[in-house]
């Protein structure tokens, strides 16, 4: 940042503190950063979280397993449908429940559509932070089509409570798969429009390439997972590396990009949406007939045990540790949420960025406050 004069002859400049958030248009919720600024340059940054803390872990101890399932959709509300997945797998491990095959396929289909919707939000809100309003409407129109599909299956659009212990809530409506294929085509077409408009834009490339580079070792050190990790050149995806559900039956590539700068983190989401579409087409073609839900007792008492399950959620690894004491309520629940771990890198990378680059950096990390504060 040698272009800025910080201290000219006889002119002294003074650092000041800027509280970015919790009410700020581009902190994506109630995130707050306490920035020490030298003019336009960030000298140091500090994460301040907790404005959305709802005590979810404690709530879980007071209600039954089935009652807590809808709560899990409230963590990462941008990819609501995927959120109960890890929780359900943990419960199925506790109760030794075998999930019917069709239910697993339905989980993959709904989950991957939700991943597309979530990445579309990320792309749109990131370019919105660059001041581009028109591309944002392109991807949100695409997301709207995905949400219509999800609504047809699950009945809701944002906080989708579809996954349950032992399967899913509802089967596909009639004629849904052809409709979904068509919608997928149109989503990809809109995405191409968006890609053409933004990815090659000189201003966008100039503002993202080489900014806030997170190297592979750094990403591991700070516990970054998900697309932000893969953008740093590391090929790690739970869907491939420790396959849950029926992911081992599909042919898809884990996308990686080498640099780990803002542009790669943006581009990786674009690539992943296209890969998701590939995966979805296979899943929709090969979905078997059968039950959608295993028999689970109304008053469900798992044996006193512990279980951990993790999935590759839209923002990284979402894990649940569930401890049961043999009663109808969990003894202890703990989550490992991707957004919380991913924002740990912000104070390390912020110094030296301009305020504008800081905003695009936190946008490229793609966090959701419900996921951070829980």
Partner 1 sequence: MEFLTAIFNWVQTLLGLPTTSLADALPWWDILWALIYFVGALILLVINVIMLIWIERRAAGFFQERVGPNRVGPFGLLQTINDTVKLLGKEWIMPASADRLVYLIAPLLIVTVSVTMYGLLPYGPGLTPVSLNVGILFFLAVSSTNTISVLMAGWGSNNKYSLLGGMRTVAQIISYEIPMALSIIGIVMITGSLDLGKIATAQSHVWNVFIQPVAFVIFVISALAELTKSPFDMTEAEQEFVAGYHTEYSGIRFTLFFMGEYANLFSMSALGVVLFFGGSNGPFLPPWVWFIGKTYVFILFMLWVRWTFLRIRVDKMMKFNWKILIPISLANLLLTGVGIKIWQAATGAIRW
Q: Which of 204, 236, 250, 367 binds partner 1 (CB under 8 A)?
A: 204
Q: Please say whether the beta carbons of 310 and 317 come within 8 A.
A: yes
Which DSSP letter does residue 320 get? E
Q: Shortest Cβ distance from residue 45 to partner 1 (Å)?
A: 14
Looking at residue 307, the DSSP 8-state letter turns out to be E
CA 170, 174, 177, 183 torsion: positive or negative? negative
Confirm or reject binding of residue 98 to partner 1 (CB under 8 A). no
Q: Any contact of residue 12 with partner 1 (CB under 8 A)? A: no
Nearer to partner 1, 19 or 327 (CB): 19
Binding to partner 1 by CB under 8 A, coded x per residue (else -) over 21-50, reads ---xxx-------------x----------
Which CB atom, from 126 or from 310, has the smaller least distance to partner 1?
Answer: 126
Binding string, 332-361, against partner 1, x = CB under 8 A? Answer: ----------------------xxxx-x--
Rg (CA), the chain: 21
Window contacting partner 1 (CB under 8 A); options: 75-83, 116-124, 155-163, 204-212: 204-212
Residue of 173, 206, 290, 352 interacting with partner 1 (CB under 8 A): 206
User: Comparing C-alpha atoms, which of 204, 210, 191, 339 is closest to residue 275?
Assistant: 191
Residue 8 CB, nearest distance to partner 1 (Å)?
A: 15
Minimum distance of partner 1 from residue 314's CB (angstroms): 22
- What are the contacts of 273-277 at 24+ separation with CB within 8 A? 273/115, 273/116, 273/119, 273/120, 273/187, 273/188, 273/191, 274/188, 274/191, 276/112, 276/115, 276/116, 276/119, 277/116, 277/184, 277/187, 277/188
Which is closer to partner 1, CB of 136 or CB of 252? 136
Q: How far is the CB of 122 from partner 1 (least distance, A)?
A: 15
Q: How far is the CB of 205 from partner 1 (least distance, A)?
A: 10
The residues binding partner 1 (CB under 8 A) are 1, 3-4, 16, 18, 24-26, 40, 127-134, 137-138, 141, 197-198, 201, 203-204, 206-207, 354-357, 359
């Amino acid at each position: 940042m040698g272009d800025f004069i910080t201290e000219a002859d006889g002119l002294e400049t003074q650092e000041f503190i800027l509280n970015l958030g919790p009410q700020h248009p581009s902190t994506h919720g109630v995130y707050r950063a306490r920035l020490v600024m030298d003019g336009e340059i960030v000298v140091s940054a500090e994460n301040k979280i907790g404005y959305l803390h709802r005590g979810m872990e404690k709530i879980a101890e007071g209600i039954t397993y089935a009652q807590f399932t809808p709560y899990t959709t409230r963590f990462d509300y941008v990819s609501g449908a995927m959120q109960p997945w890890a929780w359900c797998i943990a419960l199925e491990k506790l109760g030794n429940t075998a999930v019917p095959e069709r239910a697993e396929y339905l989980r993959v289909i709904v989950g991957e559509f939700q991943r597309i919707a979530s990445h579309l939000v990320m792309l749109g809100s990131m370019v919105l932070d660059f001041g581009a309003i028109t591309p944002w409407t392109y991807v949100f129109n695409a997301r709207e089509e995905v949400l219509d599909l999800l609504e047809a299956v699950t009945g809701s659009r944002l906080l989708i409570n579809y996954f349950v212990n032992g399967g899913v809530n509802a089967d596909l409506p009639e004629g849904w798969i052809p409709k979904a294929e068509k919608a997928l085509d149109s989503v990809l077409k809109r995405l191409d429009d968006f890609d053409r408009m933004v990815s090659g834009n000189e201003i966008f490339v100039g503002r993202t390439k080489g900014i806030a580079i997170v190297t592979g070792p750094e990403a591991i050190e700070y516990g970054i997972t998900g697309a932000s990790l893969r953008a740093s050149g590391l090929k790690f995806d739970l869907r491939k590396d420790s396959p849950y559900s029926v992911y081992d039956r599909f042919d898809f590539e884990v996308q990686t990009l080498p640099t780990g700068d803002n542009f790669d983190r943006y581009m990786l989401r674009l690539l992943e949406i296209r890969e998701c579409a590939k995966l979805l087409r296979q899943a929709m073609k090969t979905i078997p007939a059968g039950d959608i839900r295993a028999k689970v007792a109304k008053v469900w008492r798992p044996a006193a045990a512990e279980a951990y399950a993790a999935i590759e959620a839209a923002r990284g690894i979402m894990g649940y540790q569930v401890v049961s004491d043999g009663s109808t309520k969990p003894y202890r629940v703990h989550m490992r949420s991707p957004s919380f771990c991913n924002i740990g890198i912000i104070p390390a990378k912020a110094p030296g960025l301009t305020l504008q680059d800081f905003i695009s950096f936190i946008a490229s990390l793609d966090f959701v406050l419900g996921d951070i504060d829980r």
